Structure 1
Amino acid sequence: MSISFLAKHPVPCSLFLLGILVLGHGAYIQAKAYLAQFLIAQAWQQTLDDQQIHKPWHWADTYPVAKLSFVTKQESIGFKHQVESVYVLAGASGRTLAFGPGLVLSGAPIGEVGNTVIAGHRDTHFANLAAVNKGDLLQVEAKNGEILLYQVVNTQIAHQSDTQFMAPSDDNRLTLITCYPFNQLSGGAEQRYIVEALHVNKPAAI
């Protein structure tokens, strides 16, 4: 693209270059998020081995607390595990969510009675929440190696100011939160997509 062309067409060229920058920034964020999951996976394996906290890199201010897998309901063959799994980190600050879904520390700890809340970005680790339906299963691996099964009972869209879905509960439930809509490229979303699931010993027909 020559300088003379830029001078003759300043607006289209500016928009084109801006688009490249936006897409490049988005690709960088996704690459950082998924690369971090490899390092987090190593730290998680160490935690499973010795039940101790292990940071994924020495300067990290968080650490993995669980492994979350999505299970899709298949009418013909029962329940089938998806390939994708994500590692959940302690805390849900913006810096933590850049590397993976974060456990909201004001909620119930993994596997305990109460409302366990996990937040994640819609364009990386929680992008697949768009495909989660009522009746699907969520599998959580705790740090002691126990596999916990949750069945989705509800999905909803709420305003960011509505925090009732994060309230404590008397049952054992898992709440996943991400920004909405999923296909919005820019930040600043005021809506949240919420997946609510209850702990089950055996999947129920829904």
Structure 2
Amino acid sequence: MQAKAYFAQYLIHQAWQQTLLDNQPHKPWSWADTYPVAKLTLMKKGQYKQKDGRSLYVLSGTSGRNLAFGPTRVKGGGLDFPQGNRVIAGHNDTHFSVLNGIESGRIIKFEDANNRVRFYQVSSTHIVHETDTYVLESNLTDQLTLITCYPFNSLTPRSEFRLVVSALPLSV
């Protein structure tokens, strides 16, 4: 499963490059029911420019199938607007494993399909029960919300807790 998820990133990268060229959604493979809608890059602490940063392509449609290939936009997650609560979910044992130990102050570069780039700074992290859905609410506040299962490296396959990473925009 993990190897498939990481290899898919190559095909998703190609689809993303096409999207940036013509502003149209492109499926990474012919039978895909998803396409890349954004790109996240976790920057090293205190840096805004990083050539070898860990980039993740965000896919449309939050389903178990799509989550196997990368983080996904949560429906109503604000990616279609210049501002709003951009909510992105990912598995903690693959793509969002990079959130393990993330601290306030970390910079996240966000690129949308219209080639707009925003920098966000992690303002808080907290653990919530899966029924606490307030973090999914749409609002007009420009923020980035990343969600993954918690705890990391758990021996049980399904957790009822989520790590929520909140990040606010930076003026660069």
TM norm structure 2: 0.93
Determine if contact 1:111/1:172 at 8 Å carries over to the other structure: no
Q: The residue matched to 2:19 in structure 1 has which SS?
A: helix
Q: Distance in 1 between matches of 2:11 and 2:41?
A: 18
Q: Distance in 2 between matches of 1:132 and 1:110?
A: 26
Asked if 1:86 is matched to 2:56, the reply is yes
Return the structure number with greater relative CO, CA threshold 8 A, min gap 6. 2
Q: Distance in 2 between matches of 1:107 and 1:53?
A: 17
- Note the C-alpha offset of 1:32: 0.7
With over 3 angstroms needed to count, the CA separation of the structure-2 counterparts of 1:80 and 1:144, relative to structure 1, is closer
Asked if 1:201 is matched to 2:167, the reply is no
Match of residue 20 from structure 1: none
Identity %: 51
How many correspondences in the alignment? 171
Match of residue 12 from structure 1: none
- Note the C-alpha offset of 1:186: 3.2
Larger Rg: 1
Match of residue 119 from structure 1: 89
Q: Distance in 1 between matches of 2:53 and 2:123?
A: 22
Runs of at least 4 residues off by over 4 Å:
none
Match of residue 134 from structure 1: 104
Q: The residue matched to 1:131 in structure 2 has which SS?
A: coil
Q: Distance in 2 between matches of 1:178 and 1:84?
A: 17
Give the one of 7, 17, 31 matched to 1:59.
Answer: 31
Q: Provide structure 2 residue ranges, at least 5 long, that are not aligned to the other structure.
A: none
Give the one of 109, 120, 123 matched to 1:153.
Answer: 123
1:30 maps to a residue whose letter is Q
- Note the C-alpha offset of 1:179: 0.2
With over 3 angstroms needed to count, the CA separation of the structure-2 counterparts of 1:171 and 1:195, relative to structure 1, is same
Q: CA RMSD in A?
A: 1.5
Q: The residue matched to 2:100 in structure 1 has which SS?
A: helix
Higher helix residue share: 1
Determine if contact 2:150/2:161 at 8 Å carries over to the other structure: yes
Determine if contact 1:111/1:142 at 8 Å carries over to the other structure: no
TM norm structure 1: 0.79
Match of residue 152 from structure 2: 182
Q: Distance in 2 between matches of 1:33 and 1:111?
A: 28
